[in-house]
Amino acid sequence: MKISGKVLLVTALSLLSGWSYGLELAGFLTAHDPSTIVFEDGKYYVFYTGRGIKVKTSEDLRTWNETKPVFNTRLGWWNNVVSNFNGSLWAPDLVKVNDCWYLYYSVSSFGKNRSAIGLAVNKTLNPSSPEFKWEDRGAVIESFPTNNFNAIDPAVLPDGDKLWLVFGSWWSGIKLIELDKSTGKRISEKSPVYSLASAHKNDIEAPYLYKHGKYYYLFVNWGLCCRGINSTYEIRVGRSEKVTGPYLDKDGKDMRNGGGTLFFGTRGRRIGPGHIAITEAGGKKYCSYHYYDRENNGRPTLMINEIEWDDQGWPVVK
């Protein structure tokens, strides 16, 4: 989870210190495919899968309140992607660039690769601000049944003067494109689409890129989501000195050929962790994700754990 601006308050950091397992936000905060958690004007914001893109806010990372969704009406172009689209937008991610929030989201239907990643922009996340207004800028990239990829699950990586979008689900796996920082859209219609990772059974999705030291780390999910306690999601990781790859796991296996070191899987009541992101706060790093709660009817729940890097430079959950 990439954070813009001040991330965690001192009080929040005191809550996060000394975790033995992790912290369920807001007493089991329901959120599937949670976005980057961002901070603006004294509040944290998390965006997640739901009708019009669901949004919740918090002042302390424990007590959360739902606010109005990003979209209150369905946009016409969504129906060009999915006929009779129900308005449920998946797996959003956002970042602040040039004093503007770029929010990326998925338009799709389950099991099909006729999909699109859309972009909405806003000067502020505060609904009470006179400048608050979401402006949709249409599709950033689309996929069709004739393509070998699926344009969903976007995650954004600011990298110096460049901006990257990693995405993908099943089919041939995880892809990467470069974005224009001035618009948030693809640098050109025919710009390169880089292949970063695939899985032997094609069950790969929910990518996330993070730079630490000289390496770019690519996190992905293997397995099946959205099945409650029967979900088989697990988080895998590889790294590269170049954002475009190749990404290798601990054994040196290319993630494009099924490589990927297990980073985090099912533990106790926490089934099928997925959609990881990383937060930096107070000199420490934390990873966030959702899991399916075995003791709460498989409810998707937001979770945070402290994350460290070992002597070989690999991320581990503390």
Residues with catalytic roles: 33, 205
Task: Give me the helices (H) in 163-272, please.
Answer: none
Strands 64-67 and 54-58: antiparallel
State whether residue 216 is helix, strand or coil: strand
State the CB neighbour count (10 A cutoff) for residue 316: 11
State the CB neighbour count (10 A cutoff) for residue 93: 28
Give the residue among 222, 213, 224 at the shortest CA–CA distance from 292: 224
Contact 220, 249 (CB under 8 A): no
Give the residue among 142, 116, 254, 143 at the shortest CA–CA distance from 198: 254
Strand partners, 212: 215
Q: How many helices (H) and strands (E) does the chain have?
A: 2, 22
Distance of CA 122 to the CA centre of its chain: 19
How far, in Å, are 79, 112, 152, 156, 299 from residue 109 at the CA level?
11, 6, 10, 22, 21
Q: Exposure of 190 by Cβ count < 10 A (0-12 exposed, 13-18 middle, 19+ buried)? A: exposed
Max intra-chain CA distance, the chain: 53
